[in-house]
Amino acid sequence: MIPDMLLRLAINRLTVRPSEKQTLEELVDSEEFFRALTPALLSQILGRPIARMESRPDDLLRRAERDLSFLRARGCHALSLYDRRYPAALQEIYDPPYLLYLRGELPAIDRPMVALVGTRDPGASAAIAARTLAGEFARSGVAVVSGLARGIDVEAHLGAMEHGITGAVLASGVDLITPSAHRGVAARMLDRGGFLLSEYAPGVPPVKYHFPARNRIISGLSRAVIVLQAPAKSGALITADYALDQGRDLFVHRAGIEGARGAGSAALAADGAPIIDSASEVFREWGIEMTRDVRAPGHADRCVPEPRSAEEAARRRIELVRLSISGEASR
């Protein structure tokens, strides 16, 4: 049975695996049932030993009530696997998030996403490359995804938001922006049509083991993962591993393969990851030709993929007409 949102929020606060939360959803059909959960009953349901519950079910329900109030007050959403807004690409991965907490708006379902990841301490050339590459993708209508961390992540967000949509996947609740210095960046991302996404409930702080789990979402959302610069033990290499496991395209950028800062990137290239210098090389790998879009007054030129279907071509014509009309009205 599919429970109501309050029960979903309470189930999501249990410290069990996402797939196990889905199992609980199929059985827990009331608050009374949820309150009756014990380690012994959880062990029986999940088929593995559960030594203890970190919080009593009553406490989890009270936290779920606060979560629901937060979502309503902030205009946020909690997307289940049954929600049509839950990203289809993410549904395909092993152990997809049970719930996704969303601030802002996800890109349209037919709009691809690309992940740009790398070290928190990049060299100047890699940082510039992250901004430039993100801007190229954003201008072409591809949403850029990263983790809002220092270094490559924030450079990618900054480069993308100047020309299009960018979104961040957090290792904390969507109400906790870390580092705090990036709160302004997050606010601008949302103002410009981007999004913040997390599988962790509001108020949950980032802890070490959240970051690898977060990385599987970054790659899972994306058609391709591009490592700008990564040392030998970078967390970006975890994202690269997830990309390969999930069947995503993996690239490394030429600006970040030299020296100790790029040792991890160089290893990926040695293992066969293509080295790129620009977004156009990724599009060529995808078999997409880039054409120059019509320039509308007040809008910058942007490259867009050549339509691959009659339906897409029709949507493109409608968009061009809309831009043309809006341009005429603004004169």
pLDDT tens for 204-220 read 999 999 999 999 999 99
- Residue 324's domain comprises 290-330
Interatomic CA distance for residues 251 and 150, integer angstroms? 21
Within a domain: 127? yes
Count of domains in the chain? 3
Residue-averaged pLDDT of the chain? 89
Q: Are residues 133 and 51 in the same domain?
A: no
Within a domain: 62? yes
Which of 75, 93, 126 is the last residue before a domain boundary?
Answer: 75
pLDDT at residue 288, as a whole number: 84
Is 1's pLDDT higher than 70?
no
Within a domain: 43? yes
* pLDDT tens sequence across 44-102: 999 999 999 989 999 999 999 999 999 999 999 999 999 999 999 999 999 999 999 99
Within a domain: 256? yes
Within a domain: 209? yes
State the Cα angle at 33 between 28 and 35, rounded to 5°.
120
Q: Are residues 177 and 129 in the same domain?
A: yes
Percentage of the chain lying above the pLDDT 90 cut? 84
- The model's confidence at residue 109, banded by pLDDT at 50, 70 and 90, is confident
Q: Which residues contact 267 (CB under 8 A, 6 or more apart)?
A: 232
* pLDDT tens sequence across 257-310: 999 999 999 999 999 999 999 999 999 999 986 543 322 223 333 444 444 444
Is 151's pLDDT higher than 90?
yes
Is 328's pLDDT higher than 70?
no
Interatomic CA distance for residues 1 and 198, integer angstroms? 25
Is 239's pLDDT higher than 90?
yes
Q: Are residues 167 and 274 in the same domain?
A: yes
Q: Are residues 218 and 297 in the same domain?
A: no
Q: Which residues contact 259 (CB under 8 A, 6 or more apart)?
A: 123
pLDDT at residue 313, as a whole number: 46
- The model's confidence at residue 135, banded by pLDDT at 50, 70 and 90, is very high
pLDDT at residue 3, as a whole number: 62
* pLDDT tens sequence across 27-58: 999 999 999 999 999 999 999 999 999 899 99
How many other C-beta atoms are found inside a 10 Å radius of the C-beta of residue 324? 13
Q: Are residues 194 and 295 in the same domain?
A: no
Q: Are residues 246 and 317 in the same domain?
A: no
Q: Are residues 122 and 202 in the same domain?
A: yes
Q: Are residues 275 and 298 in the same domain?
A: no
Q: Are residues 271 and 312 in the same domain?
A: no
* pLDDT tens sequence across 162-178: 999 999 999 999 999 99
Q: Are residues 124 and 235 in the same domain?
A: yes
Check the CA dihedral 240-241-242-245 and report its sign.
Answer: positive
Tracing tokens 């309150």 back to the chain, one arrives at 35
Q: Are residues 133 and 268 in the same domain?
A: yes
pLDDT at residue 309, as a whole number: 46
Within a domain: 151? yes
Q: Are residues 50 and 156 in the same domain?
A: no
pLDDT at residue 294, as a whole number: 28
pLDDT at residue 290, as a whole number: 56
Interatomic CA distance for residues 136 and 129, integer angstroms? 10
The answer to whether the CB of 303 falls within 8 A of the CB of 290 is yes
Give phi and psi for 39, each to the nearest 5: -55, -40
